[in-house]
Amino acid sequence: MFKMASLDRIALAAVCILGIICPGARAQEGSATPVEKLSLLPGFKAELLYSVPRSSEGSWVNMTVDPKGRLITSAQDGLLYRVTPPAIGSSQETRVEAIDLKIGQAHGLLHAFGSLYVVVNGKAAQGSGLYRVRDTNGDDTYDEVTLLRFISGGGEHGPHAVVLSPDGKSLLVMGGNHTKIPDPETTRLPRNWGEDQLLPRQWDANGHARGVLAPGGWVCQTDPEGRSWDMICSGFRNQFDIAVNGAGDVFTYDADMEWDIGTPWYRPTRVCQVVSGGEFGWRSGTGKWPDYYPDSLPAVVNIGPGSPTGIAFGTGARFPAKYQNALFICDWSFGKLYAVHMTPNGATYSGEVETFATATPLPLTDVVVNPKDGALYFTIGGRNTQSGLYRVTYVGGESTKMAQAPKTTDTAKIRKELESLHHRDARGVEKAWPYLGHSDRFVRYAARIAVENQPVSEWRGRVLQESNPKALVTALLALARQGESSDQDSIFEGLGRLDPEAISEQEVLSSLRVLALSMIRMGRPENDFIESASEILSGMYPAKSNLVNRELAGILVYFQAPGIVGRTLRLMTESPSQQEQIHYALVLRNLKSGWTLDQRRVYFSWFVQAQKYKGGASFKRFIQNIKDEAVDLLSESEKLALADVLEGKNLQDVALNYDMNRKFVKEYTTEELVKEIEKGLSGRDFNHGKKMFATVACYGCHYFSGEGGSAGPDLTGVSGRFNAHDLIESIVAPSRTISDQYQSTIFELKDGSDVTGRVANLAGDNLMVVTDMMAPGDFTNIAREKIESTRPSSVSPMPEGLLNSLSLEEIKDLVAYLLSGGDSGSQLFRK
């Protein structure tokens, strides 16, 4: 929460003529951002109800609604307050009363079961933990504070939200990744969680979260008295809030580690469905698990760089149906209130993101729907920034009739039935086993966790009897996680039955993960196995799939397999994305033998090139640390022979697979390119299209098919959002239509100068602005008092003329690559 965010894919727009803005309270010196600066979706109206006096009431970060429709709020470093908002349309003032109890510093507030539940994150009361606050004599004044359970942790990655469970009978409580699990009596996820790294991880180069181990951010369930705790899931980085939709499904908005931007282990902020037994793969430093690991679960939707704070569904709001079912999520650093629209998809959901409200600055901290008036309320503040309370109502012409809740799919019903077995149950194996090979990933996952919760002796013998490849891989994964070292040979035997040519890419990736996990948890195999496995895997390497190559490289380096240096160096130097190159450099730092001196020269020459790459605050030091660890493996004679290249002299040419210094071909128009594209794109060249994607620097800003940057939108699904004309126009003339999600702001200063960029962080009354999206770690600090005015920039951060150095045939390959979603088997590439 309230973390540094160094790369913005989000615009902080000023006044938007499409929004209906309430005149509201105009800001004076030291008051909250005025509503005139808010950009809202059409038909919605905003009011600034209260500017919080910082000196006396602090900076508000959390709130809930009591049964009378009043708000309970908390200052980050101060007290609790009860807020009575005026009736909608009223001219009365907002009433704010301090709650006269020694409790505050809350990151979680909930009114339920006739009580106010408070998650203290700090030194208030008896310190961090879950508290119950009550009015014992019915005089409408809280008078009793009871600590239900101490929670070890504090600060911005400490204990966070408390919400009502889907069945309304218990509480869900959560903590960030610097918070120890609160000694739960039970857990849905088997307790033998681990780091599960085959090769040594590097801790963060700037020291963040060094030594912090799994399980990471967690969610627990407890009864209203807080007596018995059950851990639901874990593996988040720093999720701040939880929300439950009308179908009873639970979601959270997890934080990224923005210092990792530009690296292959960076994971953007993302909305995840909180499911029983879930593991979401956060690990410190370079150890974060990729989405394709079968022992973890993927996001519903990736958002991008940001700083997640409060979230809430629109349930109960007098809004159009679309927004009643939307998940509203707050991004503190970039000042965005998003509406995430989710569609049931198998056993989970898929999501689309829409900017609902934004301003400069708008450090959002929490959002709630007040069922008494049907309005949405949000607060801004945190880190001693100016705080305020806002109300949003709908005044447009669409119906605000109560919307139907999302329908639970049959596949989701299966998942939920399997989740009921996530504890010791004599029926668990028999009921769950048939679903280990299910086509839906969440169902397979739920079935495996059900099996893993039963004694291994009950199901060990069934593993090798499984004939379905997908089910076999899932069963082997369970055995690798829960079995003993004596089970390793059975796992190897089961993997040996799989034909890589006959199974899907995901099944190959899962099989490689099972192999790695069996060695992580059960020990390094005998040399005979390593030799035979090295020969088999070397025959597959390199594969057509970039992701498969990543896993193969790690395992072959772990084996110290002969003959892999040249192939891995080619993958490293010929890869069009810096993330992929960094991955192979990181892996090769562990390879002790098999190098020629020339290969060493190529490898260490790459580090000079890599200094030109850009990323987050830890990026440069990560690159240096990779090099330092590789140097440590050199013999003294090798260090002497390579002294010049290690000092950055007499470098070996690193042959790149693309040319960044191309000559001008012609200035293309949208119309001529669309005309050519519409003639057809069959028979295009996938690899060449990928090279062109790198040549025009797309990877620097855009995430595509598992790699790339995050300054711009994820382009993997571009074929589902754009036709040929819109796709070409967005490249040829990017400033013609600029989404407010990626628009820059022009800050005109009182000294006559101006700064153009995106606010990425705030510190008191200072705005920290990124002016170059390719240099996300570089900030320009602007004191708010020095700003004369702000306005949205009419120039896209994406430069024009990107295609002007390509031939028409190269453009066709690029467009085919984009429309394929990164699938080399697409019909666009069939000759």
What DSSP letter does each residue of 134-180 carry, written as one string? E-SSSSSS--EEEEEEE----GGGSEEEEEE-TTSSSEEEEE-TTS-
- At 362-420, the pLDDT tens digits run 999 999 999 999 999 999 999 999 999 999 999 999 999 999 999 999 999 999 999 99
Instruction: Please tell me what DSSP assigns to residue 718.
Output: G
Q: What SS3 class is residue 809?
A: helix
Burial of 509 (0-12, 13-18, 19+ CB in 10 A): buried
User: Residue 558: CB partners within 8 Å, gap ≥ 6?
Assistant: 198, 199, 516, 519, 590
Evaluate whether 61 touches 76 at the Cβ level (below 8 Å): yes
Helix (H) or strand (E) holding 580: helix 578-588
Evaluate whether 630 touches 588 at the Cβ level (below 8 Å): yes
Residues 284 and 620: their CA atoms lie apart, in Å, by 17
User: What percent of the chain is predicted at pLDDT more than 70?
Assistant: 92
Evaluate whether 812 touches 677 at the Cβ level (below 8 Å): yes
From residue 105, alpha-carbon distances to 40, 61, 127, 131, 309 in Å are: 30, 9, 9, 12, 15
Average of per-residue pLDDT values in the chain: 90
Residue 43 token pair: 């038909």
Instruction: Please tell me what DSSP assigns to residue 79.
Output: B
Residue 148 token pair: 């239900």
Residues 350 and 144: their CA atoms lie apart, in Å, by 43
Higher pLDDT, 650 or 8: 650
Lowest mean pLDDT among 122-126, 154-158, 489-493, 571-575: 571-575
Q: How confident is the model at residue 549 (pLDDT cuts 50, 70, 90)?
A: very high
- At 762-814, the pLDDT tens digits run 766 778 787 776 666 677 888 877 887 777 777 777 778 888 889 988 888 88
Evaluate whether 312 touches 369 at the Cβ level (below 8 Å): yes
Going by DSSP bridges, is the β-strand pair 229-236/186-187 parallel, antiparallel, or unpaired?
Answer: parallel
Helix (H) or strand (E) holding 52: strand 44-52
Q: How confident is the model at residue 15 (pLDDT cuts 50, 70, 90)?
A: very low
Question: For residue 99, what pLDDT is reported?
Answer: 98
Q: What SS3 class is residue 470?
A: helix
Helix (H) or strand (E) holding 55: helix 54-57
Evaluate whether 467 touches 433 at the Cβ level (below 8 Å): no
Question: For residue 493, what pLDDT is reported?
Answer: 98
Residues 628 and 348: their CA atoms lie apart, in Å, by 43
- At 441-454, the pLDDT tens digits run 999 999 999 999 99
Residues 273 and 280: their CA atoms lie apart, in Å, by 10
344 - beta bridge partners? 349
Burial of 697 (0-12, 13-18, 19+ CB in 10 A): middle
Evaluate whether 490 touches 474 at the Cβ level (below 8 Å): no
Residues 218 and 276: their CA atoms lie apart, in Å, by 11
Evaluate whether 383 touches 61 at the Cβ level (below 8 Å): no
Higher pLDDT, 5 or 502: 502
Q: How confident is the model at residue 237 (pLDDT cuts 50, 70, 90)?
A: very high
Residue corresponding to tokens 């001529």: 672
Question: For residue 61, what pLDDT is reported?
Answer: 97
Evaluate whether 162 touches 108 at the Cβ level (below 8 Å): yes
Question: For residue 755, what pLDDT is reported?
Answer: 86
Residue 348 token pair: 């989970």
Residue 803 token pair: 């295609």
The mean per-residue pLDDT over the stretch 62-71 comes to: 98
Question: pTM here?
Answer: 0.89
Q: Which residues of 18-31 are buried (b: 16+ CB within 10 A; e: fewer)?
A: ebbbbebbebeeeb
**Whether residue 290 has a cis bond before it, omega within 30° of 0:** no
Single out the residue of 756, 764, 265, 188 nearest to residue 453, CA to CA.
Answer: 188
User: What percent of the chain is predicted at pLDDT more than 90?
Assistant: 72
Evaluate whether 175 touches 218 at the Cβ level (below 8 Å): yes
User: Residue 291: CB partners within 8 Å, gap ≥ 6?
Assistant: 281, 298, 299
Residue 566 token pair: 């040249």
Lowest mean pLDDT among 42-46, 324-328, 672-676, 737-741: 737-741
Q: Which residues of 61-92 are buried (b: 16+ CB within 10 A; e: fewer)?
A: bbbbbbeeebbbbbbbebbbbbbebeeeeeee
Single out the residue of 725, 672, 723, 711 nearest to residue 799, CA to CA.
Answer: 711
Question: For residue 291, what pLDDT is reported?
Answer: 95
Residues 432 and 252: their CA atoms lie apart, in Å, by 27
From residue 456, alpha-carbon distances to 186, 478, 479, 482 in Å are: 19, 9, 8, 7
What sign has the CA pseudo-torsion 577, 582, 583, 588?
positive
pLDDT above 70: residue 691: yes
Residue 798 token pair: 């994406």
Single out the residue of 654, 541, 652, 656 nearest to residue 597, CA to CA.
Answer: 652
Burial of 567 (0-12, 13-18, 19+ CB in 10 A): middle
